[in-house]
Structure formats: C-alpha cells, structure tokens
Chains A and B, each alone.
Chain A
C-alpha cells in the first residue's frame, strides 16, 4: 500500500538502517541512490516492480537474510509486489490504527502483560487481572517468536506475576471458604439442613 513512502515516514530510530540498505537490494539502478532513504527508495521501488523477473529474486533474498535482526519490517521496504514469496511480504499490521507499518519493536503486548500482572498483586483480587496477564503474555511470546517484539524479560515477568497473582486469588478464595467452614466445625455448629436431618431421625 504505502510501501514506497515507508522509510521516509518511519518514526522509529531503529528502522531507518533497513530502509537505507534498500538500495543494496536492487542492483539494476541502485548505484545512483545509495545512502539516501528518502529519495532512493521511491526510485528503487519503481525500478523492480514492473519486471518481476531477476529483480524480484534480488529483492527477496536480502529480505530473508535480514529476518533475524529486523523481523518482519526488514521485508517492508521490499514488500508488496516484488518480494511476494517471502513470508513477511504482507505486513500483518496493515489495519492497525495505532502505529505505522514500520514501527518496531512492538513491545506493547509484553508491557500490558507486565502491568496486568503487577495490578493483580496490587488489587489483591488476583485472577481478574492475573489470568489476562497470562493470556496477553502468551500472545506477546508469540509476537516475539514472530520477530515483532524483543522484550522477552518483560513478558516473562508479566506471565510469572500473572500466575502468582492468580495463585494468590485462588488461595484467598480457598481461605475465605475455610474461614467460614472451620469455625463451624470447631464450634460444633450444626448446619441447618444437617440439623433438620438429625432431628428428623429421632
């Protein structure tokens, strides 16, 4: 969609290096525009798009080699038509209104998991936020596995805190039930229905 304008419009400082290396991708006309992402990429995007022959392969190969450090956004400048074969060709966040397609890393999920986990401890009624913390943390783990985020530690903390607060919540519920039952047992208080049964026996 708006891929040619991506490297110029990126807000994140981590990403422009990948945009700058876009001229490295198209060997046909890339020598004229090295080092200038704003001017170079539209020209580079125009050149390989019409011919989907050898140029497409040249674009697809660097996209896959960048996959480890850059995640899906390494493929974004070369995305769309030329590198349709790469698994990152269609950015999965095309519809999100929160950030542009070139915003990396997406650590929001992990931070939410951590905050929900902390809130579960603070709120003392653990499972209301503890369970969401674990679920959001699981999604954040998936995002890390896809290469979209890099906050492994925060996500782990969120999941652990989520489990801890859930455990606290369950413990509190059990204690609450016991605090009702134990006095009944120790004081020899007979439950109403039990009293009815015992009296009906005589």
Chain B
C-alpha cells in the first residue's frame, strides 16, 4: 500500500511544482537533453508544458506541446487509481499483458520519429518556445 501512495505523493508534488513554476519561462527546467545533444525532439519533449497546461485548463496549449502526453496522462491516472484500489483491497496486483507493453513501445517510438518529420512538426512536435 505504501508504494502507490508514494507514487501518488510524488506525482502530486510534481504537479504542484508545475503549477507554481511555469515551464514556459525560458530555461525554467533546463533543456531536454535530446534537444541539447542531438537536436531531436524526444517523445517526452513538451511534456512539462503539456502537464502545466492540463493542470491550468488549457487543453489546446497542452495538445500543441505534446499530444501523446495529453492522451496518455488520463490513462496513467486511471491506471494508478486501479492499482491503488487493488492494493487497498489486498487483491494481488494484476500485471497488464505483455502485448500492451509492446504496443506502448511501438507507439512511443513511432511518435518520437514522426514528430521530428518536418512536415509533421506543426502537428506533433512541441510548439516552439517564444
């Protein structure tokens, strides 16, 4: 029971930090190392901005920052809720099937490739910081 609560506390703390300290301020959280070293947007790039926008109610801004994260974040929240409830009731935590792991990996990698295609950058890429 401790692990879900610890994860929830960490997530809540991160969310509170993201609300208080906006990632839109230049270099407020540094630069993603893949942008810094490779010049490539990784699948998670824009995730902080997207989270900040989701928490402050700006869905369009979140979608422009990282569309995949906008789709995945609610699922992660639901998965955490299910996990916590299972632990709370004492039933053994079921493991999501292995095929789902491969689907997740393919989606993440595909998203990371496509959002660096120049024609798709306006749709999938993180909006440029102005």
Across the interface, name the chain A residue whose C-beta is closest to B106.
Answer: A115
Does B91 lie at the interface of the complex (its beta carbon under 8 Å from any beta carbon of A)? Answer: yes
Does B39 lie at the interface of the complex (its beta carbon under 8 Å from any beta carbon of A)? Answer: no
| CB pair B105 A125 closer than 8 Å | no
Top 9 A-B pairs, shortest CB-CB distance: A124-B34, A111-B98, A115-B101, A172-B33, A96-B94, A108-B95, A176-B30, A124-B42, A108-B98
Does A187 lie at the interface of the complex (its beta carbon under 8 Å from any beta carbon of B)? Answer: no
Give A90-109 as 1s and 0s: 1 = Cβ < 8 Å from B's Cβ atoms.
00110111110000001111
Give B78-111 as 1s and 0s: 1 = Cβ < 8 Å from A's Cβ atoms.
0000000000000110111110011011001100
Instruction: Return A179 CB to nearest CB of chain B, in Å.
Output: 8
| CB pair B32 A124 closer than 8 Å | yes
Q: Residues of B contacting A106 with CB < 8 Å?
A: 95
Partner of A125, one of B44, B96, B108, B112: B44
Q: A111-B102, A112-B101 are in contact. Are A122 and B96 (CB under 8 A)?
A: no
Does A123 lie at the interface of the complex (its beta carbon under 8 Å from any beta carbon of B)? Answer: yes
Across the interface, name the chain B residue whose C-beta is closest to A95.
Answer: B91
Instruction: Return A181 CB to nearest CB of chain B, in Å.
Output: 12
Assembled-state Cα–Cα distance A96/B96 (Å): 10
Across the interface, name the chain B residue whose C-beta is closest to A119.
Answer: B108
Assembled-state Cα–Cα distance A109/B104 (Å): 14
Q: Considering the complex, which residues of chain B in the window 9-31 have a beta carbon less than 8 Å from any beta carbon of chain A?
A: 30-31
Q: Considering the complex, which residues of chain A in the window 123-177 have a beta carbon less than 8 Å from any beta carbon of chain B?
A: 123-125, 128, 168, 172, 175-176
Across the interface, name the chain B residue whose C-beta is closest to A151.
Answer: B98
| CB pair B33 A115 closer than 8 Å | no
| CB pair A175 B44 closer than 8 Å | no
Partner of A115, one of B30, B91, B95, B102: B102
| CB pair B95 A125 closer than 8 Å | no
Does A74 lie at the interface of the complex (its beta carbon under 8 Å from any beta carbon of B)? Answer: no
Assembled-state Cα–Cα distance A11/B96 (Å): 17
| CB pair B96 A112 closer than 8 Å | yes
| Beyond A95-B94, A125-B33, 12 additional pairs, beta carbon < 8 A | A98-B97, A111-B101, A111-B102, A112-B96, A112-B98, A116-B101, A119-B104, A119-B108, A122-B42, A123-B43, A124-B42, A124-B44
| CB pair B109 A108 closer than 8 Å | no
| CB pair A109 B34 closer than 8 Å | no
Q: Residues of A contacting B30 with CB < 8 Å?
A: 176
Most B C-beta atoms less than 10 A away, residue of A92, A107, A123? A123
Q: Residues of A contacting B112 with CB < 8 Å?
A: 122
Q: Residues of B contacting A96 with CB < 8 Å?
A: 92, 94-95
Most B C-beta atoms less than 10 A away, residue of A96, A116, A125, A128? A125
